[in-house]
Structure 1
Amino acid sequence: MSAPASRPSSDVSAGVGLSGLVGLALWVILCRNWAGIADALALPGPHEPLAGPNAALAAMLFSGLPMVAWSLLVDKVHLRASTGIDWANPRPLRDVVDISITKIAGLWATWSLVGFVYCLCRWYWRGQYLFAMDVISGLAPVLFLGAVPYVLWLDRVLVNPRDASWHFGAMLVGRETYDRAEVANHLRAWAVKGFFCAFMFSIIPGGFGNVVQMNYAAVLGDPLALGNALIETMFLVDVQIAMVGYLLTMKPLDAQIRSANPYLAGWVAALICYPPFILMGGGGVLDYRTNGAEWTFWLQGMPVLEWIWVAAMVLLTGIYAWATVAFGLRFSNLTYRGVLTNGPYAFTRHPAYLSKNTFWWLSTLPWLTTTHSLVDAIRNTVILGLVSAVYFWRAKTEEAHLLAEDAKYREYHAWMAEHGLVTGTLNRIGRMLTRGRPRMEPPAMGTAHPAE
C-alpha cells in the first residue's frame, strides 16, 4: 500500500507513560530519603531507605495509578469503541448472569492451569523466581474472588460479553457452541501473561533495591560507575512500567489483549531471549562473550573514549526505557493491544530492539578477545550477529501479526517505510544500491502469507 500523507495517530498518548514515570520517580525519591522522613516525623518502623521487595511492589502502584488516572480522566479511553463497552445501555444482571458464570468458570480454569504449569516447572521454585511465586500465590485468592464482581459488572456493559474467556468456559462446560479460534487466542494470551508476569516479578526487587541505595554523588567523576548507575536506573523504569502493562490488561482501560501472536516462529524467537529458554546466557548456544571482555577493559587509560562510550550506552538505554514508557499501560510481548506510533516509534518501528542490540555491540566489542585468538574473535562477532538476527526475526514476526490485525498498523508500517528516520533512511539506501538492477516479476499465481 502507498504511504499515508501523515503518521497515523497513536492509540496511547505520551501523557500516560510520562505520568507513570513521574509517579515512579516520586516513590523512588521518597524511599531513598525515608530515613530522614521517618526521623523528622518520629514514625515507627525502620529509619533507613525503603529498598526491600515490598517497596519494589509498591512502586507499581505509584507508577500504575497515575497512568490509569491519565488514561481515564484525560484521554478518556473508557469511552472508546475499541473497548467493546457501551456504558449508556447496561443490561439487567439477570440477562448476563449465565454468560458471566460461564466466563468465570473459564477464567478460574485458566488460572488453575497456569498454576499447575508453575508447579510442574522446576525453575519457578528456585533463585529469584521464589519471590515471584510468593507474590503470585498471595494474589491468587484476590484474583479468583475479585473476578466474580468484576465480570458480573463488566458483562452488563459489554457489547459482546461472549469474548474469548467465555468461549473457553463454554468449551469446558459443554452446553453451548464455542469458537476454537477464540479459545486458542484466550490460551495464547494467558500463556503470555503467565510466562512474563512470573519473570517480571522475579526481577523487580533487585533493580529497585540497587537504585534506592545507590550513592549517585560518589560516581560523578567515574565514567564507568556513573554509566552503570544511570543504566540501572533506566532499567528500573523499564521493568516497573512494563510490569504494570502486563497486569492491567483491562477493557475499561482499553488495554485488553486483542490477540496474542498466532505464529509459532514469533513465540520461538521471543522465548529464546528469556530464561529458562535463553540461548544468550553464559555457556549458551548464542553466548558471544567467550574469552571476551567489557568495553572498560579495552578502553582503560583512554578517558575521552570512556566518556564517549558511556554517553552512547546511556543514550541507548534511555531510548530502550523510553520505548517501554511510551507504551503506558499496554506494554507486553507477543500481543496486539493497539497501535503505538509516537515517542521513539516515530523514528523506527522497533526502537527497543535497535537500541538494545547496538548497546550489546558497543559494550562487548566482540571482535576483541583476551586470548588474542582470531578464532574467538570471529566466533564472538558472528554469534552476536546471530543474536541481532534473532531480534530481527522477532521484529518481523511481530509485524506479521500486527499487519494482519489492524489497518492503522498497516498505514503506520507504510508511513515508516518512507518517512521514518531510521526505517525510511535504510529503505532509501537500499533503493539506491539496487537502482538499475532488473526487477523480479511477482509470481503469476498465489498470494504470499505475511509471515512467510
Structure 2
Amino acid sequence: MSATEQAPHARPKSDVSAAVGLVGLAGLFAWVAFARAFPALAEAFDWPVPLDTLGGRNSALVGLLAAAIPMAAWSILVDKVHLRASTGLDWSLVRSRAPDHGVTLVKLVGLWATWAIIAGLYCLCRWYWEGQYVFAMQVLAYAALPLVVLSVPYVLWIDRALVNRRDAAWHFGALLLMRPGWDMGQIAKHWQAWIIKAFFTAFMLSITPFAFNHIVTANFAEVFARPERIALTIIEAMFMIDVMIGTVGYIVTMRPLDAHIRSGNPLLGGWVAALICYPPIVWGILGGGRAINYEYDTAGWLHWMAGNDTLIALWGALLVVLTGIYAWATFAFGLRFSNLTYRGVVTNGPYRFTRHPAYVSKNLFWWAAILPFLVTSGSPVEAIRNCFFLAVVNGIYFWRAKTEEAHLLAEDPKYRAYHAWMAQHGLLTAPLTRLWNRIRPRPSLTAEPAE
C-alpha cells in the first residue's frame, strides 16, 4: 500500500445489511420446514392430496420465492435501498416529468432483442438440452411470455424515475433501430451484464432442485444415527443455501432494489478464470479423467477414517465449518450475489475477516475432504500429481480473486477503502499482506546508469 493510500480507521459500511441475508435464510428454511411437514399437515387437515414431502422441482422454485420476497421486503421497507442515489433513480421525477414513450420503445426493443438472442444461444448450445440443464430451459421457456408482457409496465414505470433514461438497453435498441446517439461502450456494458446473467442463471436453476430435494427428503432418524451422516447432511444444507440464495441473486437484478448490475468485469482474465470453473468448460478441464485431475485413486476422508467415530465427528465438524463459511459468504450478499459483476460493496459477515471467504473456505474444504495426498494405490507419484493439480485449482481461484479485486478497485472508492482496511485489519488478510510485503522484491533505490 502506498504512502498516500492510507487505510480508514473504521471498516467501510457495507452496501448490504446483514439482516437481508438472514431474513432470506429464514424464509427459505420456513419453506423447507413446511415442505418436510406437508404429509403430516395434509393428513391432519384431511387434504385430498398425496401424502408426500414437497421435494419436487416446482417446490424448489417456490423456495426461491420464499427467500427472495423477505429479502426484497426488508431491503425496501427497512433499509430503504430504493432511495439510494446508486439506484440511478429519483422518484420525485415521476411527478414532475411526462413519460417519453419514444425512449421506452427503443429500450424495449433492445431488451426484447437481447432476450431473443440469448434464447437463440440457448438453442444452439447442446449442453443446455441434456441432463440437469433441461429443467432450467423449461423454467426459462415458461417464464419467457410473462417476462415480455411484464417488461412493458415495468420499463414504463422505471423510465419515469430514471435520472438517465438512455441506459445501456436503450443504446442497444438505438443501434438496432438505427437511431442516432448510441454508444458502443454502453452496448458492451449491456451485453456484459446479460451474458453473465444468462450463463449463470441457467446453471444455478439447473442445480437448484437437487440441492433442495436432498434436504426436504432427508430421513433425519437415519441421519442422526451416524456422525458422518450428520456432517454430510449439514454440508448438503449449506450447499442448498448457497445455491438457492445465489440463484435469487442472479434473477433479482433490479434497480429499485439497488441490486442491478452496475458493471460486468471488463478484464478478459477475469472471465477466463471464472468460466473455467463452470460447465461446460469445467467438464473438459477439471475433475476425474480430465486435464486437471486431483482425485485420481483418492477415496476421501470417510474411507481413511472408517472405524474411528471420534475422528469422523471431529473431521466432519471441520468440513461443516468450512461449508458454513462458504454459505455465509453467499447469503451475506443478500439479493446481490453473482460472479463477474459489481453490484455494490459487501464488508460485513465473513468479509470482515478476509476479502474472499468463499474461495478460501472452498479450497480448504477440497484439501480436507479429498485428502489428495492419500491414494488407494499407495503410489507416491499419484499423490504428488493430485496435490499438484489441486494446487493448480487453488491458483485458478487466486487468479479469480485478483481479477475481481482489480475490477472493484477501478469502480468504487468504497472498495478501495475496504481493500486498504483489510490489508491492515483483516484477520486473515492482514497477516498475509504483511508476509507478502516482506518477501516481495523491493524496487531498487539506486539509479540505473545512463546508457
Q: Shorter-chain-normalised TM-score: which range?
A: over 0.9
Distance 2:99 2:211 in 1: 48
CA 366–118 in structure 1, closer or farther in 2 if over 3 Å, else same? same
* Residue matched to 2:442: 439
Are the equivalent residues in 2 in contact too, given 1:92–1:156 (CA < 8 A)? no
Q: 4+ runs of 1 displaced by more than 6 Å?
A: none
Indicate the SS of the match to 2:281: coil
Tell me: CA distance 1:93–1:315, structure 2 relative to 1, closer, same or farther (3 Å): same
Identity value in percent: 56
> Aligned partners of 2:441, 2:126: CA distance in 1, in Å?
56
Quick check: 1:121 aligned with 2:146? no
The one of 140, 165, 181 equivalent to 1:177 is 181
**Out of 295, 302, 309, which is 1:296 matched to?**
302
Match of 1:225 among 220, 225, 229: 229
- Alignment partner, residue 90 of structure 2: 86
Structure 2 match to 1:352? 358
Cα deviation 1:421-446 (Å, max 9, x = unaligned): 00002123344x54xx98314999xx
- The yes-or-no answer on 1:321 pairing with 2:327 is yes
Q: Report the secondary structure of 1:33's partner residue.
A: helix
Which amino acid in structure 1 is aligned with residue 410 of structure 2?
Answer: A
| Partner residue in 2 for 1:244 | 248
Give the deviation of 1:363 after TM superposition. 0.5
Letter of the structure 2 residue corresponding to residue 374 of structure 1: P
Measure how far apart 1:95 and its partner are.
4.1
SS in 2 for 1:87: coil
Identify the residue that residue 108 of structure 1 maps to in structure 2. Answer: 112
Q: Which moved more, 1:405-414 or 1:294-303?
A: 294-303
How far has the Cα of 1:44 moved from its partner? 2.6
Match of 1:32 in 2: 36
Task: Specify the alignment match of 2:260 in structure 1.
Answer: 256
Q: How does 1:390-401 map to 2 (within 5 A)?
A: 390-401=396-407
Report the Cα offset of residue 306 of structure 1: 1.4
Seen in structure 2, the aligned counterparts of structure 1 residues 354 and 443 have a Cα distance that, compared at 3 Å, is farther
Conserved 8 A contact 1:50-1:212: yes
SS, match of residue 159 in structure 1:
coil
Question: 2:47 — aligned with what?
Answer: 43
Distance 1:170 1:439, change over 3 A: same
Aligned-residue offset at 1:216: 2.0
Pair 1:382–1:180, CA change in 2 (3 A): same
- Deviation of residue 45 (structure 1)? 2.1
8 Å Cα contact 2:99-2:159 kept in structure 1? no
Query: Matches of 1:191 and 1:281 in 2, distance apart?
Result: 25
Q: What is residue 269 of structure 2 aligned with on the other side?
A: 265
For 2:7 and 2:162, the matched residues in 1 are separated by 35
**Residue identity opposite 2:199 in structure 1:** F
Kindly indicate whether the alpha-carbon contact (under 8 Å) linking 2:99 and 2:156 is maintained by their aligned counterparts in 1.
no
SS at match of 1:383: helix
What is the CA–CA distance in structure 2 between the aligned matches of 1:93 and 1:242, rounded to whole Å?
37
Shift, 1:41, TM fit: 1.3
SS in 1 for 2:49: coil
Aligned to 2:216: 212
The amino acid that maps onto 2:296 is: T
Question: TM-score under structure 2 normalisation?
Answer: 0.95
Conservation of the 8 A alpha-carbon contact between 1:78 and 1:253: yes
Match of 2:394 in 1: 388
Paired residues of 1:216 and 1:229 also in contact (CA < 8 A)? no
Residue identity matched to 2:276 = I
| Residue 407 of structure 2 corresponds to residue 404 of structure 1 | no
SS of the equivalent of 1:389 reads: helix
Q: For the Cα contact (< 8 Å) 1:106–1:165, is it kept in 2?
A: yes
- 1:97 maps onto 2:93 in alignment: no
Partner of 1:414: 420
Match of 1:450 in 2: none
**C-alpha distance in 2 between matches for 1:443 and 1:378:** 43
Once the 2 structures are TM-superposed, how far is the Cα of residue 32 of structure 1 from its aligned partner? 0.2
Distance 1:46 1:442 in 2: 79
Query: Shift of the alpha carbon at 1:89?
Result: 1.9
1:158 aligns with 2:132: no
CA distance in 1, matches of 2:262, 2:430: 29
- Asked if structure 2 preserves the Cα contact closer than 8 Å seen for 1:288 and 1:366, the reply is yes
Partners of 2:287 and 2:295 within 8 A in 1: no
Q: Deviations over 1:319-376 (max 9, x none)?
A: 0000011000000010000000000001000000000000000011111111111110
Equivalence map 1:274-285=2 (5 Å): 274-278=278-282, 279-285=285-291
Post-superposition CA distance 1:25-82 (Å, at most 9, x none): 1100000010011111122322221111000000011100000010001000001011
Q: Which residue number in structure 1 is paired with residue 134 of structure 2?
A: 130
The Cα offsets for residues 74-110 of structure 1, whole Å up to 9 and x where unpaired, read as: 0000010111111112167854211111110000010
Aligned-residue Cα RMSD (Å) equals 1.7
Name which of 424, 434, 442 aligns with 2:430.
424
8 Å contact from structure 1 (residues 292, 366) kept in 2:
yes
> Which position in structure 1 is the counterpart of 2:72?
68
Instruction: Give the aligned residue type for 1:406.
Output: D
Structure 1 residues 438, 34: CA separation in 2 closer, same or farther (over 3 Å shift)?
closer
Structure 1, unaligned runs of 5 or more: 445-452
Query: Paired residue for 2:373?
Result: 367
Helix, strand or coil for the counterpart of 2:93? coil
Q: Read off the aligned partner of 1:226 and give its amino acid letter.
A: I
- For residues 309 and 67 of structure 1, what CA distance do their matches in structure 2 show? 34
